Structure 1
């Protein structure tokens, strides 16, 4: 960290500033995929226990975000899209962010263990550790494969939800994990292709900086090709079905077409249309994950309806 870690906030932060520390947009994706993992599991969960579990997972995700912002305050200050975050903008002191992150981490893990089971709590604890330490403190600044390996942190929530319900892991939960894990690289590399200068200014070894944009385009198509069989394969498990397979077929064709278009482009093409294709693929990637997990929810609802209700 830079000297920013030793500075104090010039004035008292608002509740909105503290909430921003928790990365609410990232938290919303975590909550959604964890909820799907819980609801599609074959073991019913009491609504109150389910609510507490999802609350703990959300708080744990927020704790990870606060710890990430505390550690990355120096590079956040150098990037246009992150310079306005609470710490680099001076609205929250680094020490406050660290305290919030550690406190919420302990609260979330302990409460989840007491409310559900120790496996779920252990997965949550490891997820927080992975994101805050392995990814933020090590991988992000050490290797252009930071997104590939670090993507595991964002892939654990559906496995967490499944563990809350069943007390274990399964092929289904591992494939939900793999779906997010394999989706993460092309999702973020599409973003990196049109915010390239931000990562360069911050000294983050993003693939676009270390290997160039042509190599990044090749990586996007390769990882998308690897993603497709994982997404389709999930449809042939106990939580899949015709609705999911139909959605997966459409979304993967759409995403693969976008990745192919990126692969065929040159720097001149990107400059000419101001990264229109890359921006479009990034937007598709956001719909991609929501559509797959939404389809899993529909399949679960259909199965429960056939059995007489949830």
Structure 2
């Protein structure tokens, strides 16, 4: 007979496997995957080669705990919104598979654990940056920006840029300009990525009272903003060329051109009143970030610097 675990606040008996899936849902593993993809290239570039496998594993584990903490606390704060949106109605707190109190304790414990783990296995700077990211995501983005301004994802998205800085700091013990350049790439990538999704789920966000840009602005304004941020992102990727190499430069230009083509096409179709298909750009944006990160990782592992980088430390 399968053992059952009681969840006191809900009054329901839940099998261990069911609870495991529920807690996994709280940390949003698909979001974490994307964050970790950006961490590894930052560590390779910081090391100008392949860093210690143990250091990479320790950083990824600590980063996963930090991101999981932020996401779980986000689920607690946004439970009312999630209940109103079709896209998020299956989340654990909406389905009552995890109690609010347990989710809150889980999120705080993950955050504390990430700090202790990163401090013990990497350094204090990386650990402090991880905690700062959690606090920014929950207190600044989730509790303040998200419900009050259409610029929510522009500034709140800075939290999603921090894994590259944490990865760099775990290797070097400091933050250098290539880490800031990588931060900028993800910073400018986030609005086109998120606004494309929000165009598709505009009615969901409007029903929940979340002022995402597609809710409060005309479609042509949204698509124009997507084009603008895409140009900023592609140009910003070139800042890393001196720190990386020609392989990275080639793929950054080619993938960036692809992204720009789709962004401009989305804007043209929107302006002409045709079906814009924003999800095509959304899915492509994930592929784009993967291509740029893999190219950077390979270039860094092969140590093919250009323009005199890296300097002698």
Q: TM-score, structure 1 length as denominator?
A: 0.90
Quote the Cα distance in structure 2 between the aligned partners of 1:206 and 1:24: 23
Q: 1:35 aligns with which of 15, 32, 40?
A: 40
Quote the Cα distance in structure 2 between the aligned partners of 1:24 and 1:205: 25
Name 1:248's counterpart in structure 2.
Answer: 252
Quote the Cα distance in structure 1 between the aligned partners of 2:40 and 2:47: 14
Q: CA 1:285 to 1:122, structure 2 compared with 1: closer, same or farther past 3 Å?
A: same
Name 1:281's counterpart in structure 2.
Answer: 281
Q: CA deviation at 1:284?
A: 1.3
Quote the Cα distance in structure 2 between the aligned partners of 1:38 and 1:58: 15
Write the deviation string for residues 220-265 of structure 1: whole angstroms up to 9, x where unpaired.
1111121121012212x22x21111111111111111111112222
Q: Is the 8 A contact 1:33 1:157 kept in 2?
A: yes
Quote the Cα distance in structure 2 between the aligned partners of 1:186 and 1:104: 30
Quote the Cα distance in structure 2 between the aligned partners of 1:267 and 1:40: 41
Q: 2:195 aligns with which of 189, 198, 204?
A: 189
Q: 1:139 aligns with which of 145, 154, 157?
A: 145
Q: 1:266 aligns with which of 260, 270, 283?
A: 270
CA RMSD of aligned residues (A): 1.7
2:119 is the counterpart of 1:113: yes
Q: TM-score, structure 2 length as denominator?
A: 0.89
Name 1:25's counterpart in structure 2.
Answer: 30
Q: Is the 8 A contact 2:40 2:297 kept in 1?
A: no
Q: Is the 8 A contact 2:44 2:301 kept in 1?
A: no
Q: Is the 8 A contact 2:150 2:211 kept in 1?
A: yes
Q: 1:221 aligns with which of 220, 227, 231?
A: 227
Count of aligned positions: 292
Q: CA 1:75 to 1:10, structure 2 compared with 1: closer, same or farther past 3 Å?
A: farther
Write the deviation string for residues 114-164 of structure 1: whole angstroms up to 9, x where unpaired.
221111111101111111111111111011000100110000101110100
Q: CA deviation at 1:170?
A: 0.9
SS at match of 1:142: coil
Q: CA deviation at 1:213?
A: 1.6
Name 1:231's counterpart in structure 2.
Answer: 237
Q: CA 1:268 to 1:256, structure 2 compared with 1: closer, same or farther past 3 Å?
A: closer
Quote the Cα distance in structure 2 between the aligned partners of 1:8 and 1:229: 51
2:19 is the counterpart of 1:14: yes
Q: Is the 8 A contact 2:230 2:260 kept in 1?
A: yes
